[in-house]
Structure 1
Amino acid sequence: MVESERTVNEKTTIEHRYYISSSVETAAILLNASRMHWGIENSLHWRLDIAFREDESRIRKGHGAENFAILRHIALNLLDKEDTAKVGIKNKRLMAGWDDSYLEKVLAGLAS
């Protein structure tokens, strides 16, 4: 069991998470693994929000939000993989929108 405490705007909440594992590792090692996982998850969300403005998305009907999240992840992976332009993901995305030959380079990552 892991007890986490979070304070936002002077309001504190406590959450209990339960894990089942066959690991013989200590609680400290497992806690570190959990923190690393959430660090990666938070980093991914930040990148999607900066490059694709995901938090501002107004898609709400049906499965649209989930479908577009999948498309954004694919686009992020393709833009990450493309290494000829030495700029950030947001600028790579803009370049792909402006330049069809660059867009083809990005999409060529699907074939490789």
Structure 2
Amino acid sequence: MTGTGLVAAQREVSAKTNEITVFRPMLADLDLADIMVTFDALHSQTAHARFLVEEKKAHYIAVIKGNQPLLHQHLKQLPWREVPLLDKTRATEHGRDEIRRVKTCTVTRGLDFPHAAQAVQIVRRRRTVTTRKVTLERVYAVTDLTAEQADAPEIAHRIREHWGIENKIHHVRDTTFAEDASRVRTGTAPRAMAALRNLAIGALRLTGCDNIAAGLRKHSRDATRPLATLGIT
């Protein structure tokens, strides 16, 4: 998904494999030169980082969790107490009040991840408004961008943007198009329907429509509107 909420590529994941094997084939035909690519911890693989930087000439921010235990432990043990706080944001949404604190430090050696130039620590303090329960989470990441290319606020912004895929794509497909309740389950039909839903969402976003449900209602009231939006008439 692009930063504007458009699906740039999709790939079906076979029941006999997992998402890791389709990462490279899905991105192979895209022009990613100088593009920042973000992904969840599952795809924080050394081969993926090399592919992005060396072959696609792209940049990455890789979140590091338990599936990379040695690297995760190394990041945790960096002297974060000595690193100044570089960015702090606060937001209230979905019934939660969240404060995010971000630190970054330049890595010159010892970090076993291809082309890593900066290490990142994000501390998230979440408070549920109704129950007042407070949780604290520390997230670590690495990026090939130097401090001159991307400072802490920029990195924090990119990581927050990554999770927009849940709200802008998956949530819309499920709630507005009732994808999870679909009875279309055999052959290539599910993949085709996913592509059509993505097409509809993308077409509406290109017209400046942020509320997809409202956009669908508007188009349903006049049969010529979908044709005009798709450039058919």
Give the TM-score range, shorter chain: 0.5 to 0.7
For residues 33-44 of structure 1, the aligned pairs below 5 Å read 36-37=161-162, 39-43=163-167, 44=169
The unaligned stretches of length 5 or more in structure 1 are: 4-15
Q: Cα deviation per residue 1:32-53 (whole Å; 9 max; x = unaligned)? A: 655642x122112112222211
Answer whether contact 1:82 1:106 (CA < 8 A) is retained: yes
Question: Which residue does 2:116 correspond to in 1?
Answer: 23
TM-score by length of 1: 0.64
The unaligned stretches of length 5 or more in structure 2 are: 1-63, 72-112, 122-139, 143-155
Question: Which residue does 1:63 correspond to in 2?
Answer: 188
- Count of matched residue positions in the alignment of Structure 1 and Structure 2: 95
Q: Which amino acid aligns with 1:59?
A: V
- Who wins on radius of gyration, i.e. which is larger? 2
TM-score by length of 2: 0.34
Root mean square deviation of aligned Cα: 3.1
The alignment partner of 1:52 has SS state of: coil
Deviation at 1:71, TM superposition (A): 0.9
User: What is the alpha-carbon distance in structure 1 between the residues aligned to residue 193 and residue 114 of structure 2?
Assistant: 34
Q: Which has the higher strand share?
A: 2
Q: Which has the higher helix share?
A: 1
Correspondence 1:106 to 2:169: no
The alignment partner of 1:68 has SS state of: helix
